[in-house]
Chains A and B, each alone.
Chain A
Amino acid sequence: MKYGVVVFPGSNCDHDAWWAAKYSAKQQVEFIWHKDNVLPDGLDCVILPGGFSYGDYLRCGSIASHSSIMKEVISFANKGGLVIGICNGFQILIEAELLPGALLRNASLHFVCKDVFLKTMNFSTPFTNKITKDKIIRIPIAHGDGNYFATPELIDELESENSIVFKYCNENGDILESANPNGSLNNIAGIINKRGNVLGMMPHPERYSDIVLGCNDGLNVFESMLNND
């Protein structure tokens, strides 16, 4: 399996994602520059990493979503290639309209940096099939704009089509307002597109991809993708 990690000006989790793919998931991986007009040959998955692309100017992810590599990422996604956007990468996917809805300023107005518990709502995606059923995973978040918003109709649609992949919950898996770190509607932490090949999530699986980091629950996300060859 070959991963590509896109590097935008202001990306700061690109090396973590590269490391997780290379050493935790033990796969091929290369960096992709945002000004490139082609994706590397034989790519299976594009990772849009976390960070502050273009300094979060205008709206988080808005400027990066118009960079030249994104045209390629969009056509790669439209052909069925796997794309995962983490944190700022999720914001970019939303601005690029590969995923619906919007990410607003955290309800608390604070930048929140801590571990959260996630309940996996859909185990049959290319990103979650290796997660043990009913296991509550622990993954860090670090963002100021992760408050998922959509119209009530869209939220209903996401719920009924199983497009919500992760929800914030407490240690026991209860989806409570007190476990919601940013005000996201329905505690949404990650969603997938209709075709099931584009995932956006605010938590950072690459930061918990090796036990030496204190937890490797995030590795499940990377390893799930290996099952799709």
Chain B
Amino acid sequence: MFINVNINNVIYIIKNKRTNEMNTYSASVKIMLHNGILDVQGKAVENALHSIEFQQINKVRIGKYVELQVSAESQEDAKKIVEDACEKLIANPIIEDYQIRIEEK
């Protein structure tokens, strides 16, 4: 049997399907104060640890951990979106460093 197919339509459908194909990625962001900045919270916890039985613990630093889900076409795109979100809201690049981890759900 012979099916009459317009090749342009097929390309259009494939392309369209590709651009609409969104995957869900789970991302986690670890946010820490820049190394040069005194982390007063970390220091207070360190002092409290020393005041009980943990004199062997030092250099305590406290940060934030954020988990989120991203819809994106690819893992690379997902990372770009999360980076953008970190620059604009999730972290404050003036005082904080962030590390992003992404995996497909």
Using a CB–CB cutoff of 8 Å, the interface residues on chain A facing chain B are: 58-59, 62-63, 66, 95, 101-102, 104-109, 149-150, 183
Q: What are 27 residue pairs bridging A and B, where the CB atoms are less than 8 Å apart in the complex?
A: A58-B89, A58-B90, A59-B92, A62-B89, A62-B92, A63-B89, A66-B88, A66-B89, A95-B92, A101-B94, A102-B92, A102-B95, A104-B37, A104-B40, A104-B95, A105-B40, A105-B41, A106-B40, A107-B38, A108-B40, A109-B40, A109-B44, A149-B37, A149-B94, A149-B95, A150-B94, A183-B40
- Residues of B at the A interface (CB closer than 8 Å) are 37-38, 40-41, 44, 88-90, 92, 94-95
Q: Which residue of A lies closest to B90 (CB)?
A: A58
Chain A contact surface mostly: loop
Give the interface SS of chain B, mostly helix, strand, loop or mixed: helix
Give the distance in Å from the alpha carbon of A109 to the alpha carbon of B89 in the complex: 24
Task: Please name all residues of chain A whose beta carbon is closer than 8 Å to the beta carbon of B92 when the two chains form the complex.
Answer: 59, 62, 95, 102
Residue of A whose beta carbon sits closest to that of B36: A151
**CA A106 – CA B40 in complex, angstroms?**
8
With the chains together, A109 CA to B94 CA distance in Å? Answer: 20
- Inter-chain pairs besides A109-B40, A109-B44, A149-B37, 18 sampled, C-beta below 8 Å: A58-B89, A58-B90, A59-B92, A62-B89, A62-B92, A63-B89, A66-B88, A95-B92, A101-B94, A102-B95, A104-B37, A104-B95, A105-B40, A105-B41, A106-B40, A108-B40, A150-B94, A183-B40
Give the chain A neighbours of B89 by CB distance below 8 A: 58, 62-63, 66
